[in-house]
Amino acid sequence: MDKQLDLLQGTLDMLILKAVSLGPLHGYGILLRIQQISKDRLEIQQGSLYPALYRLEHQGWIASEWGESENKRKAKYYTLTAAGKGRLQAETDNWNSMADVIRGILGTKPEEV
Amino acid sequence: MKVWSRIGSWFRAMLWRSRMESDMDAELRFHLEAFAEDLVQNGVSREEALRRARIEFGGIERVKEEGREARGTRIIETLLQDLRYGARVFRKSPGFTAVAVLTLALGIGANTAIFSLVDGILLRPLPFRAPQNLVSITGTFPRGGFVAMREQMQSLDVSAYFEGHEFNLTGRGDPLRLTGALVSAEFFSVLGARPELGRSFYPGDDIAGRDNYVVLSHSLWHERFGGDPSILGRSIELEGVSREVIGVMPAEFVFPSAKTQIWLPLHNDPRDTVAYWAGDFMPVIGRLRPGTTIPQARAEIRMFQSRVPKLFPWPMPADWNADISVVELRTGMVGDMRSRLYLLFGAVGVILLIACVNVANLALSRAATREKEIAVRTAMGAERGRVIRQLLTESVLLALLGALLGIFLATEGLQLLKAVLPADTPRLADAHIDWRVLSFTGGLAVLTGLLFGLAPALYASRAALAQSLNAATRGAGVSVSHRLRSALAIAEVALAVLLVIAAGLLIRSFVALSHVDPGFQAERVLTARVTPNQEFCSDPSRCVSFYRELLGRFQAVPGVHSAAVVNTLPLGGRVAKRSLEIENEAVAPGEAMPLFWMDVVTPDYLRVMKIPVVAGRGFTSADDSENARVALVTAATARRFWPGRSPVGTHVRLSGDTGWRTVVGVVSDVRAYDLEKNAPDWINGTIYFPYASNATLEGGRIPSDMTVVIQSSLEPSQLQNVLRRTIAGLSPEVPASEVKLMRAVVSESVSTPASTTVLFVAFAALALVLGIVGIYGVLSYLVSRRTREIGIRLALGAQRRDVLWLVMKEGAKFSLFGISLGLLSALGVTRLLASELFGVSPFDPVTFLAAAVLMASVTLLACYVPTRRAMRVDPMLALRHP
């Protein structure tokens, strides 16, 4: 496990929380939702989705419940918990300020130093 | 919240492991199918769609494994795997498993048994309401002092109690001698104990004239009154006084001691100045009032102690209750049993260490033989941590198996312990094996497993991969493990030496104690307490003639040589004390008169007990009269109070008495208190008076609880019958109790050192056996590893005695280093035993030497079998079959 993967993992968690915050979704639905919002610009490893889901559930950010899918099949639906809501907010803020800082650094011109 | 959800998720994961698995299956299957369906809608064939879905998804098993890890269930999976594997390994090597489990069971079992004692006696809360608030006041007070304390103390509710009183129960059936406690009215409420029937005492119940009540113990109620509830409100005759039974305490209430059969109110009567201010000096217990602490109570009681002497009608000595304090009741109850228990705990701790060392050694030899297996596992990708975890799981499993057997041994052992320990050990009945003890054992087993498993696991996992896989010979990697194993064997010998020395010191001390001349002849002497009511003896001459008549009847029995009565039988556990004034011996103001042990005897007593007279004369039948104002002193007393001259002809006077008595003789000393001391330290001398009607107790009374001593050639059982018949024939109202041989009285007096010695000898024997097994194991392993080498040596012309030396050298090394180390550490440790030793120094050279010799011979013995095997090595066989 190297750093790049760690970063990706962290982002994946955040994206999952965001996707679920828009309404209950099953695992496959989360995948589709992220792809749809990102206009297919983000490719998510399908295999890494589920460990991430289980980890988030274990941590109490999301909850799961068996329900029925659009085509009348049994599927496990994930929803955002109250704790997860807070977590998503915190992660979003964190991400935004981080992005600001990095944008600032990258946009620096020689005469500004 | 977060933590809880995590723990909850983990528990769900554990409990519903199988459901979780199927859930995960279903969820992943749904994903694949949903994905495939989308592809089908885009025109891909169903079969192709499913195939592509699976490829896109990646390794399903890997996802599942990561999923399990994310939920924390993987750790369980590996644990189960390791346990299964461990069980298989044990089944494959039953010899190793049996020896290891047995060794551990002995170590853990001994610790469990002793811990159940420690727990029951020292740790377990007292069986009373809010026991943490119960305290004991170190110091004793007469009734008057206690009543003042009860009125003044702000931080404590207090209650005084007096343990030692005995009462004759008469009226129905045979007369019975009961052990009772006199208690203040708030005794039961301070302890927070409720009766199982009726009521306990109300405030004011302990005031003279309003105190004709009694509370029964559960066992007395059952044994004497058939458990009949209608006993409440009825009266029973105690010492000829009729008292109303108001309550029955439940069986588990055993305070102040398990012997207590009845509780009576204190009978506080300020008008009876002597009894009120000088009678029973009683211990006091208390309950902290809400919001107060022990330090506060301690400060308050010290303030109180500075005031209370002024309340006495006479000056009190300055050192009375000088070191008064307040301690937890539990601490106050246990007394010197605490240090003895710690010693025992230390001893079994050493045994467990030896057991650990032993099993570590066994496991090390196995680790060497398992090098290949572990190398293969490493080659196939097992991390070192994983291998260590597996090996540790095995050793913990082994320890748990040992604990299981150990618990069985401990339940048996605890029964033995209870039989060996003196019956009056406080709270002995509270010791039993329950979940507290079991959780201790469980924890101990895990620790033990880690302790003995760590070295072998680290060693085995380090074994170089390539070396092990390639090395064809069995000698590879032996040196590291050999050094470790030698160190362990040396530690084992040292620990065993330590225990052997401790046991040896205790044996020497006990032998010294048994050879103490008690100053009397115990052979063929039967003793019995014959105790008429105190009321009966309110007319002293009636009491005196009762005993005189009784002794006359005994002496008429054929086979009885002589008979006498005494108030306090030597070594009988009772002390009779009186303050005494010695002629021409002024007592400085503010100092107390010397306190004497007062033996009151009939003239034949010295003859029955064969106590020699060393100066002057003994008592004669002429002294058996009220007019004979005579006394005898012991040799030690004579030396102390009449140094350099003879006390014969001088005079003494009992405090509060008017007439002087003449010392007519000096008798030799008797170990009356215990075999170590003639009398407790606070007693200054010993004096004998004839049992006659001139008063010898406070308040003009004479002793009514005498012990009969009979010297005879009859069989003890025969004599016992005669004794009971004779007493019953004389008075059906007088009970005979504690009928036993004088020899038994003597041996009961040393039951505490005897039990400590027996236990330590048992522990030392255990340590020796484990030590032998350990050294034998190391050496035979060594021989089996070097068979090939020995074969080559023999083939090259080495003599058998060279081989002998080769093996013995190793054994001698363990022995020498181990014994030296053991002796050195014993020098530092045996002083802990000092308080248990009598007549032997904790550094007794004889014991140290004997332990060294014993250990050396034992290690030699352990070398014998492996050495013989080495000497029988056939060079041809050894070379052909390495």
| pLDDT, tens digit, 9 for 90 and up, residues B712-738 | 998 888 888 888 899 989 988 899 888
**Residue B758, C-beta contacts closer than 8 angstroms, at least 6 positions apart:** B420
CB contact under 8 A, B63 and A54: no
Residue B214 and residue B249: Cα distance in Å, rounded? 11
**CATH assignment of A11-108, given 1.10.10.10, 3.40.50.720, 3.90.420.10, 3.40.50.880?**
1.10.10.10
Interface ipTM above 0.90: no
A98 reaches B (C-beta below 8 A): no
List B631's β-bridge partners, or say none. Answer: B663
What are the structure tokens assigned to B835, written together? 């308080």
Residue B854: closest CA among B818, B800, B878, B830: B818
> pLDDT of B373-386, one tens digit each?
777 777 776 777 77
**Residue B706, C-beta contacts closer than 8 angstroms, at least 6 positions apart:** B529, B530, B531, B547, B565, B566, B567, B600, B691
Confidence at B210, pLDDT banded by 50, 70, 90: confident
**Cα separations (Å) of B779 from A101, B362, B652, B857?**
70, 11, 74, 15
Residue B54 and residue B28: Cα distance in Å, rounded? 10
Alpha-carbon gap: B6 to the closest alpha carbon of chain A (Å): 5
> pLDDT of B540-551, one tens digit each?
888 999 999 999
CA angle B805, B810, B815 (to 5 degrees): 115
Residue A98, sorted as left (phi over 0), alpha (psi -120 to 50) or beta, turns out to be alpha
What are the structure tokens assigned to B117, written together? 């004692």
> pLDDT of B96-107, one tens digit each?
888 889 999 999
Confidence at A6, pLDDT banded by 50, 70, 90: very low
Minimal Cα distance from B59: which residue of A?
Answer: A47
Give the CA diameter of chain B.
134
Q: Is the pLDDT of residue B537 over 60?
A: yes
Residue of A54, A65, A80 to mutate when probing chain B, most B C-beta within 10 A: A54
CB contact under 8 A, B30 and A28: yes
Q: Roughly what angle, to the nearest 10 degrees, separates helices B384-420 and B94-118?
A: 50
Rounded to a whole number, what is the distance in angstroms from the first to the last CA of chain B? 64
Alpha-carbon gap: A82 to the closest alpha carbon of chain B (Å): 11
Q: Is the pLDDT of residue B74 over 50?
A: yes
CB contact under 8 A, B27 and A54: no
Q: Is the pLDDT of residue B149 over 90?
A: yes
Tokens 């059982």 map to which residue?
A: B717
Give the closest of A50, A57, A58 to B28, CB-based: A50
Note which residues in 15-74 of chain B have CB less than 8 A from chain A. 23-24, 26-28, 30-31, 33-35, 37, 56-59, 62-63, 66-67, 69-72
Alpha-carbon gap: B12 to the closest alpha carbon of chain A (Å): 10
Residue B165 and residue B238: Cα distance in Å, rounded? 12
CB contact under 8 A, A83 and B37: no
> pLDDT of B186-202, one tens digit each?
999 999 999 999 999 98
Residues of A in contact with B69 (CB under 8 A): 51
Rg (CA), chain A: 17
Q: What is the pLDDT of residue B793?
A: 86
> pLDDT of B539-579, one tens digit each?
888 899 999 999 999 999 999 999 999 999 999 888 888 88
> pLDDT of A29-49, one tens digit each?
888 888 888 877 777 777 788
Residue B46 and residue B37: Cα distance in Å, rounded? 8
Alpha-carbon gap: A32 to the closest alpha carbon of chain B (Å): 10
Confidence at B91, pLDDT banded by 50, 70, 90: confident
Rounded to a whole number, what is the distance in angstroms from the first to the last CA of chain A? 36
Compute the Cα dihedral for A57, A61, A64, A70 and give only its sign: negative
Q: Is the pLDDT of residue B502 over 90?
A: yes
CB contact under 8 A, A60 and B5: yes
> pLDDT of B832-878, one tens digit each?
888 889 989 999 999 999 999 999 998 888 888 888 888 888 887 77
Confidence at B239, pLDDT banded by 50, 70, 90: confident
Higher pLDDT, A4 or B397: B397
> pLDDT of B344-361, one tens digit each?
999 999 999 999 988 888
**Residue B582, C-beta contacts closer than 8 angstroms, at least 6 positions apart:** B594, B641, B650, B652
Q: What is the pLDDT of residue B23?
A: 82
Alpha-carbon gap: A98 to the closest alpha carbon of chain B (Å): 26
- How is residue B16 annotated by DSSP? T
Could you tell me how many CB contacts below 8 A there are between chain A and chain B? Answer: 74
Alpha-carbon gap: B827 to the closest alpha carbon of chain A (Å): 57
What integer best gives the mean pLDDT of chain B? 86
CB contact under 8 A, B30 and A73: yes
CB contact under 8 A, B9 and A71: no
Return phi, psi of residue B375, to 5°.
Answer: -60, -40
Q: Could you tell me if B560 and B712 are in contact, meaning their C-beta atoms sit under 8 angstroms apart? A: yes
Note which residues in 57-86 of chain A have CB less than 8 A from chain B. 57-60, 69, 71, 73-76, 83
Q: Is the pLDDT of residue B268 over 80?
A: yes
Q: Which residues of B516-530 are buried (b: 16+ CB within 10 A; e: fewer)?
A: eebbbebebbbbbbb
Q: What does B185-226 look like in DSSP terms, one character per residue? A: TTHHHHHT---SEE--PPTTTTBTTS--EEEE-HHHHHHHHT
Residues of B in contact with A46 (CB under 8 A): 31, 35, 56-58
Residue B106 and residue B83: Cα distance in Å, rounded? 23
Residues of A in contact with B58 (CB under 8 A): 45-47
Residues of A in contact with B42 (CB under 8 A): none
Q: What is the pLDDT of residue B464?
A: 46
Helix runs in B93-237, H state only: 94-118, 143-152, 187-191, 218-225
Q: Is the pLDDT of residue B761 over 70?
A: yes
Residues of A in contact with B62 (CB under 8 A): 47
CB contact under 8 A, A60 and B9: yes
A 10 A CB-CB count for B763 gives 22
Alpha-carbon gap: A59 to the closest alpha carbon of chain B (Å): 6
Q: Which amino acid is at A77?
A: Y
Give the closest of B1, B63, B71 to A58, CB-based: B71
> pLDDT of B294-312, one tens digit each?
999 999 999 999 999 989 9
Q: Could you tell me if B387 and B93 are in contact, meaning their C-beta atoms sit under 8 angstroms apart? A: no
Residues of B in contact with A44 (CB under 8 A): none
Alpha-carbon gap: B51 to the closest alpha carbon of chain A (Å): 14
Q: Alpha carbon B479 to chain centroid distance?
A: 45
Tokens 């003896």 map to which residue?
A: B537
**Cα separations (Å) of A47 from A25, A27, A53, B56, B519?**
17, 11, 11, 8, 93
* Structural domain boundaries in chain A: 11-108
Q: What is the pLDDT of residue B75?
A: 67
Residue B479 and residue B803: Cα distance in Å, rounded? 20
What are the structure tokens assigned to B597, written together? 């042990």
Which SS3 state, helix, strand or coil, does residue A47 take? Answer: helix
Confidence at B15, pLDDT banded by 50, 70, 90: low
CB contact under 8 A, B72 and A58: yes
Alpha-carbon gap: A54 to the closest alpha carbon of chain B (Å): 6
Note which residues in 19-48 of chain A have CB less than 8 A from chain B. 26-28, 45-47
Residue A32: closest CA among A47, A10, A16: A16
Minimal Cα distance from B35: which residue of A?
Answer: A28
Alpha-carbon gap: B443 to the closest alpha carbon of chain A (Å): 29
Residue B171 and residue B679: Cα distance in Å, rounded? 38
Residue of A30, A31, A43, A58 to mutate when probing chain B, most B C-beta within 10 A: A58
Note which residues in 792-851 of chain B have CB less than 8 A from chain A. none
